[in-house]
Amino acid sequence: MTEWLCLLLPVAAASGWWAARHARSGCAAQGTVPDAAFLRGLNYLLDQRPDKAIDVFLRLAEVDGETVEIHLALGSLFRRRGEVERAIRIHQNLVARPGLDREQRGFALYELAQDYMRAGLFDRAESLLQELTEIEPEGRRALKALIEIYQQEKDWTNALNAAERLQGLTGRPMAAEIAQYRCELAEEALRAGDPEQAGECLREAQAAHPQCVRALMLQARIELGHGDAAAALALCRRVAEQGPQFIPDVLPKFIDALGRCPGTDLEAELRRLYASHPSPALATALADAIEAAAGPAAARDFLVSHLAEHADLTALERLLELQSADEGGCPETVQRVVSRLRARQSAYQCDQCGFVARRLHWQCPSCKHWGTIKATQPGSMDPSLDSPPTPPGA
Ligand SMILES: [Zn+2]
């Protein structure tokens, strides 16, 4: 059924062009030679011989100046069917034709750039799209496509420039994306051993998008590197306020900073966070803090109370470790089974498309949204409170 539909789409496109052309000419008697050629091309499409059909339609283009629409329709349909080489051939032929007006040429160049992107020929696509950024109305679409390419190539400087141009053209806020590109540049600077440059990028990220928790987390990392634990602690607290879903990701820096700040109370801080945003990472960190302050029995009591409400394998694994230390504790086999089950759990999930991951990605590899992948939360021990799992790709 699907194959038939795919076959009929180009046929429908060609037929639509033929009908429109005859409506314009006003009679069926004109142009009998192109009509015969057109029917031959149509037959090739129906016989599933698309290359023969393309040959006919391209020859038709040489004697008939009204075939821009059919070229665009067929090229687009071939690309959607995954037949990119055929789409490229059609669109290349079209842009090489003299006599196209500015709008038609812009549209055809954009379609050809899409073909190149689909074929993975990013250099060629980028070159065409850069040309198109100067041509309205294709400029906006070209900038969006360029951003897609630069993101794929991790060329954050060009992605940033294109996003700022697009924001200026459309007025659509792109502050969240711009801040993420600046964070990517900050990470590059950190990898190159230049924390000052990284700090500058993060200040610009914060200026562009004050809600960007990633910039706060990176700045906390820099402050810890400089030995300024108080500044790092203040930044971690801001992450917890602005993006509580990211508390599990900032927790190691939070605990590090608290440990270096005199007069702070690690257990009290973790209890405060846990009360409002319980998570597997917080539960185990709090259990560790309780064990250090009051001994393993108190840590076990806390974990039991946590597990009474949360189906949390990470906390269960920690509880079994504490119990195994006692005589007659949990059998090792049970611990190993729980560890295996926990290791197979997906730790992160995209709240836009349901993509699951083992680590935090700031840009979802599936839907390409920024900041939508977050640590997964364990289900409730009350089945009536559980939300159904989000299917991948939903
Ligand atoms: Zn996603």
- Judged against a pLDDT cut of 90, whether residue 41 lies above it is answered with no
* Range 24-45 average pLDDT: 61
Least confident of 234-238, 265-269, 378-382: 378-382
Query: What superfamily in CATH does domain 173-185+195-264 come from?
Result: Tetratricopeptide repeat domain (1.25.40.10)
What contacts 24+ positions apart, CB below 8 Å, involve 332-340?
Answer: 338/313
Per-residue pLDDT tens for 310-360? Answer: 989 899 999 988 886 555 667 778 888 888 888 887 789 999 999 999 899
Domain edges within the chain: 173-185+195-264, 270-345, 346-394
CA 368 to ligand 1 centroid distance, Å: 6
3-state secondary structure (DSSP) of residue 279: coil
Q: How far apart are CA 353 and CA 391, in angstroms?
A: 8
- Judged against a pLDDT cut of 90, whether residue 46 lies above it is answered with no
Ranges of beta strands (E only) in the chain are 310-311, 348-350, 356-357, 373-375, 379-380
CB atoms within 10 A of CB 181: 28
User: 192 falls in which pLDDT band (50, 70, 90)?
Assistant: very high
CA 68 to ligand 1 centroid distance, Å: 37
- Judged against a pLDDT cut of 80, whether residue 381 lies above it is answered with no
- Judged against a pLDDT cut of 70, whether residue 17 lies above it is answered with no
Q: Which two tokens stand for residue 26?
A: 């006003």
CA 183 to ligand 1 centroid distance, Å: 19
Q: With beta carbons less than 8 A apart as the criterion, state whether 162 and 143 touch.
A: yes
Q: Which two tokens stand for residue 295?
A: 């001994």
Better pLDDT: 186 or 55: 186
CA 367 to ligand 1 centroid distance, Å: 4
Least confident of 47-61, 206-220, 375-389: 375-389
CA 371 to ligand 1 centroid distance, Å: 9
Mean pLDDT of the chain: 85
Instruction: Mark residue 171 as left, alpha or beta (left: phi above 0; alpha: psi -120 to 50; beta: remaining).
Output: left
CA 25 to ligand 1 centroid distance, Å: 50
* Range 76-91 average pLDDT: 88
User: 27 falls in which pLDDT band (50, 70, 90)?
Assistant: very low
Angle, helices 195-208 vs 175-191, to 10°: value is 170
CA 364 to ligand 1 centroid distance, Å: 5
* 64 Cβ contact partners less than 8 Å away, ≥ 6 residues apart: 31, 34
CA 248 to ligand 1 centroid distance, Å: 19
CA 361 to ligand 1 centroid distance, Å: 10
Q: Which two tokens stand for residue 362?
A: 């700031």
User: 290 falls in which pLDDT band (50, 70, 90)?
Assistant: very high
pLDDT on residue 294: 93
Percent of residues, the chain, with pLDDT higher than 90 = 58
DSSP assignment, residue 370?
B
Better pLDDT: 170 or 43: 170
Q: How far apart are CA 114 and CA 78, in angstroms?
A: 12
Q: Closest Cα to residue 146, out of 182, 122, 167?
A: 122
Neighbours of ion ligand 1 (CB under 5 A): 350, 352-353, 355, 364, 366-367
Q: How far apart are CA 199 and CA 187, in angstroms?
A: 10
Per-residue pLDDT tens for 118-131? Answer: 999 999 999 999 99
Q: With beta carbons less than 8 A apart as the criterion, state whether 88 and 112 touch.
A: yes
CA 349 to ligand 1 centroid distance, Å: 8
User: 112 falls in which pLDDT band (50, 70, 90)?
Assistant: very high
Tokens 């821009």 belong to residue: 68
CA 335 to ligand 1 centroid distance, Å: 33
Per-residue pLDDT tens for 343-352? Answer: 887 789 999 9
Which uninterrupted H or E stretch holds 262?
none
Q: How far apart are CA 321 and CA 330, in angstroms?
A: 8
pLDDT on residue 47: 75
Q: How far apart are CA 233 and CA 241, in angstroms?
A: 13
Least confident of 203-217, 336-350, 376-390: 376-390
pLDDT on residue 357: 92
* 371 Cβ contact partners less than 8 Å away, ≥ 6 residues apart: 176, 180, 213, 214, 362
Q: How far apart are CA 341 and CA 155, in angstroms?
A: 38
Positive/negative CA dihedral, 375, 376, 381, 385: positive
Cis peptide before 137 (omega within 30 of 0): yes
Q: Based on C-alpha coordinates, what's the Rg of the chain?
A: 30
Percent of residues, the chain, with pLDDT higher than 70 = 84
